[in-house]
Structure 1
Amino acid sequence: MRVLLVLGTSAGGVGRHVHGLTSGLVAQGHSVVVACPQEVEDRFGFTGTRARHVALAVTDRPHPLRDLRALSTLGDLLRHADVVHAHGLRAGALSCLAATGSQVPIVVTLHNAAPGGGLTGRVYAVLERVVARRATLVLGVSADLVERMAELGARVGGLAVIPGPPPPQQAVDASAVRSGLDVAPGQVLAVVVARLAPQKGLHLLLDAIGRARDLPLLVVVAGDGPQREELQQRIDSEDLPVRLLGHRGDVPALCAAADLVVSSAVWEGQPINLQEALHAGAAVVATDVGGSAAVLGGAAVLVPGGDAQALADGIRLLVTDPEERARRQELSRQRARELPTEADAVAAALGVYADVTFVDRPAAGAP
């Protein structure tokens, strides 16, 4: 099968997922072309899997000239593909538009919720309608995304299979990790893995920690992003026991050394960081948003999204009750054994491709 994979700007989960698909498809003898920005190829190295890369300038925001060039490039690539699998709303909409008049099936996986409000929200609402009306099949990383596209009239295929990274093969020296973080004797270590951006709800996290400042707690946040300065200013001004670590390459080790892992996200799809926490056997407290509950499968303490007091109470429970913390750690290890693998993701994708290449496809409608 000749598969064209399309994605835009990615620095994390989407790129890793597409790399896993690319590697698995090529290993099974399929011909794969990955169309994406050059910097995404540089980061993830799709050509290292023996796939072919074609530079495609697809960014998070519309750009008339670049988008016209992208449509032209995709139109050329479509003529040599049996199926197109686009990842993300922008990449999906451009692929659908480029396929106007073509019989090549377009599969779109949505990895994030579309922004709402303002001009950006209106633009993305148009892109949603384009994908809903023109894509052959739409997948989502969480049930709310699937429901949204079904409401817009899309033919939906349910949840996409997004595996997390495999568990570490070597045992982690948790005491060495904790020593490197200057965790004091008797202190409980909470690890947060998040980009410092609004979606991750880090101001909510600080609200919760402020309400739990009587606990013997140290919170470390692994990740970087545009909110770093404002978060650090607030940590300093409120004297919160929170440390911003910046980007870390040892997230599995941090999770393994943690007493608990916390997610304060406003929305998540199938969060990689929580899958890493499960593989590490960490007790987890998380906001019940997007696809988090589906990933965690009952292992975590789930609290309502946007509720700082509930998040503080969940943290307090695991800090003050070692037996409950140990029970949650065992539940995490059990759940980790149920998580999908890269092989599962490739098998699921091939099943979708087989389905869409043999369905009767209506003529493309107007957006």
Structure 2
Amino acid sequence: MRIGLLTDGGYPYATGESRLWCDRLVRGLPQHEFDLYALSRSARQERQGWVRLPEGIGQVRTASLWASGAGLPQAGPPRGLTGRLATGLGRAYGRRERRRFTAHVTALVGAVCAGADMGAPDGTGAADRFAEGLYGLAELARECGGLPTALRSEATVRVLEAACRAPGAGRTVHRATVPDYLAFAVELERALRPLSLDWYDEDGLGAVDLCHAASGGTAALPGVLAKRFFGVPLLVTEHQVPLRTHYLAAPEASFRAPVRALLAHFHGRLAFEVYRQASVVTPGNTHVRRWQERCGADPATVRTVYPGMDAERFRAVGEGDDRGGPATLVWIGRMEPAKDLLALLHAFAEVRRAEPGTRLRVFGAPVEGEEGDGYRARCEALAAQLFPDEATDAHAVGDSPVTFEEIGGPEVPDLAEAYAAGGIVVLSSVVEGFPISLVEAMFCGRATVSTDVGAVVEVVGGTGLVVPPRNPRALADACIALLRDPERRARLGAAARARALELFTVEQNLAAFRGIYLDLVAHVPARWTAEAERAERTGPPRPFATPPEAHVLGQSPPAPVAPGASARVPSWAAAGAEAESVCAGARGAGSSDA
């Protein structure tokens, strides 16, 4: 089976989300051939290059979403092809094309500006108008050479202005000004850049049996168009919802409120159309599934598939490594505000008063930028304030109740050693998708105390303690309860490891997608490319590799014929003649007996 794997800011680049998951999928299903269609998110990501690709990769096409304007072909390892972005500069739009472009942009932008509930069909038919405009623009780009210049043109700005001032537009959108129109036009062109790529031909997405998008939104757009142009089924996998990520990031963006509202409406409409066209949607957990169904996904097409993780690296710890001591709490993750380490430190102060011998070891991965450095400094300052009479030096593990460490040193060389450093693993986040660190702790057989965010309850499933977020008192009480009950702590750790091995391994993830691939292709009519149809009409007959007669009981399969032995009768023809003579003899014998 030939699968088009669609990624956005991840695989095959060395950095990015879902990179490891995509690599495990490709390497774990070697019976399939994967073509990669990757969108990059930054120049830095491209400079860092690609990961080493396995043999199961057919061709690789890449395109940029970060570059302004043309988005030239991206340089990379000399493997496969790169995607070209047509800009519309090589051929000027004629009067007819301009009318078509204006009509399609008007339909799409009008649906975006309509003040309907995001992600759900409404009485005004905004979702259908959005789809009409989207596919009209895609067909125009395919015929006329791309949209980037046109989408940033004065014509688009005028359409935006008219749509924002039309009756039915939201109040926030109605306050938009010319700078807002210009800013949104730039973002709209970037989001719709996949429409202008040269991936939609018989050598590209038209040649695959299945499109698998590793994310929704813009990453899935090529799959949506492949379904429309070639009838290729689309599978969408989301370990987090792009629309939710956009909502969370919107307040931090530099845009004014009208632009943020327009972008939110656009991404909502796009999410609904992607889910409507997908044959199967596979969320990574129930938390994501609820978002998808609220955004328009048909529950009949949704199937939860947990992301697979490597359990082998934690096997030694999970099978009985208790050297960290039961009176040590461990926190592992990225040191950023969403992890709420400040609440954990306040909770640990309560734990320390109840159990004076307890320690807290914080293994924080560095976060790039001033925000990450500033947050770590705030956490260290709070620890010094809460424990003024005790050392908090990161290197004095035996002397301080709280230490801030990084994985990779002589004492803690790898991630498994960090989990082995304590008897209880704590997660204190206020925002969380799929809690990877929690699953790793479960593989290690550790009892866990977590906050009720994201998919935490679904992952833990009764094998750990879960408390409300932003509640240091509840977090402290749960930790104290496990510190004082070693038998319960051991039971929970063993149950957690068993649950993780059953649900969250790479093997179960690969088995699920292996079945989904076969099921999807089995329900899609066979498609013939133009090249295959031409070869079938003009080429020589193609015999079966193993003739059916070879399986008749009592007969040996004919010996294969060496290539070029044209003077001899082909083995499949000889087998057929032999079968016919046997049948004729049987018919003759039957008539004489009669």
8 A Cα contact 1:137 1:154, kept in partner: no
**1:204–1:308: 8 Å Cα contact kept in structure 2?**
yes
Residues 363 and 418 in structure 2, CA contact (< 8 A), matched pair in contact too: no
Counterpart amino acid of residue 230 in structure 1: G
Of 140-149 and 192-201, the range deviating more from structure 2: 192-201
Letter paired with 1:8: D
Pick from 305, 328, 333 the counterpart of residue 160 of structure 1: 305
C-alpha change, 1:347 and 1:148, in structure 2 (3 Å) is: same
Q: What is the alpha-carbon distance in structure 2 between the residues aligned to residue 161 and residue 23 of structure 1?
A: 18
Structure 1 match to 2:129: none
The match for 2:36 is 34
Counterpart residue number, 1:45: 51
| Matched residue, 2:405 | 245
Aligned pair partner of 2:62 in 55, 69, 83: 55
TM value normalised by structure 2: 0.52
Q: 194, 211, 217: which is aligned to 1:90?
A: 217
Q: Deviations over 1:302-339 (max 9, x none)?
A: 12234333222222222333333222222223323323
Q: Do the aligned partners of 2:336 and 2:375 also contact (CA within 8 Å) in 1?
A: no
- The answer as to whether partners of 2:212 and 2:236 remain within 8 angstroms in 1 is yes
| Inter-CA distance 221–42: structure 2 relative to 1 (3 Å threshold) | same
**1:19 corresponds to which residue?**
23
Higher strand content, 1 or 2: 1
Rg: which structure is higher? 2
Q: 1:301 aligns to what?
A: 465
Give the 3-state SS of the residue equivalent to 1:220 in structure 2: strand
Q: 1:33 to 1:196 in 2, by over 3 A?
A: farther
What is the CA RMSD across the aligned residues, in angstroms? 3.4
The equivalent position to 1:321 in structure 2, one of 482, 485, 488, is 485
**Highest RCO, 1 vs 2 (Cα 8 Å, sep ≥ 6):** 1
Listed one character per residue, the Cα deviations across residues 270-328 of structure 1 (whole Å, up to 9, x for unaligned) are 43322211111111111222222222232111122343332222222223333332222
1:222 alignment counterpart? 364
Instruction: Tell whether 2:348 aligns with 1:209.
Output: yes
Whether contact under 8 Å (1:132, 1:154) holds in the other structure is yes
The SS at the match of 2:21 is helix
Q: CA deviation at 1:140?
A: 0.9
Q: Distance in 1 between matches of 2:16 and 2:373?
A: 22
- Aligned partner of 2:213: which letter? A
Residue 335 of structure 2 is matched in structure 1 by 196
Q: CA deviation at 1:96?
A: 4.4
State the AA in 2 paired with 1:347.
Answer: A
The answer on whether the counterparts of 1:303 and 1:310 sit within 8 Å (CA) in structure 2 is yes
In the alignment, which residue of structure 2 is the partner of 1:276? 440
Show the counterpart of 2:97: none
* Mapping 1:101-116, distance limit 5 Å: 101-113=229-241, 114-115=244-245, 116=247
- Partners of 1:318 and 1:235 lie apart in 2 by 25
Runs of 5+ unmatched residues, structure 1: 179-185, 362-367
Deviation at 1:200, TM superposition (A): 3.2
Q: Is the 8 A contact 1:162 1:340 kept in 2?
A: yes
CA drift at 1:232: 2.3
Q: Would the aligned equivalents of 1:187 and 1:217 in 2 still touch at CA under 8 Å?
A: no
SS of residue paired to 1:294:
helix
2:375 aligned residue: 231
Give the structure 2 partner of residue 80 of structure 1. Answer: 207
C-alpha distance in structure 2 between counterparts of 1:24 and 1:267, whole Å: 31
- Contact 2:452–2:468 at 8 Å: present in 1 too? yes
Structure 2 partner of 1:3: 3
Displacement of 1:209 after TM fit?
Answer: 3.1
Q: Which residue in 2 is equivalent to 1:364? A: none
Distance in 2 of aligned mates of 1:50 and 1:346: 15
Structure 2 counterpart of 1:344, which letter? Q
Q: Sequence identity, in percent?
A: 28
What is the rounded CA distance, in whole Å, between the counterparts of 2:266 and 2:340 in structure 1?
A: 24
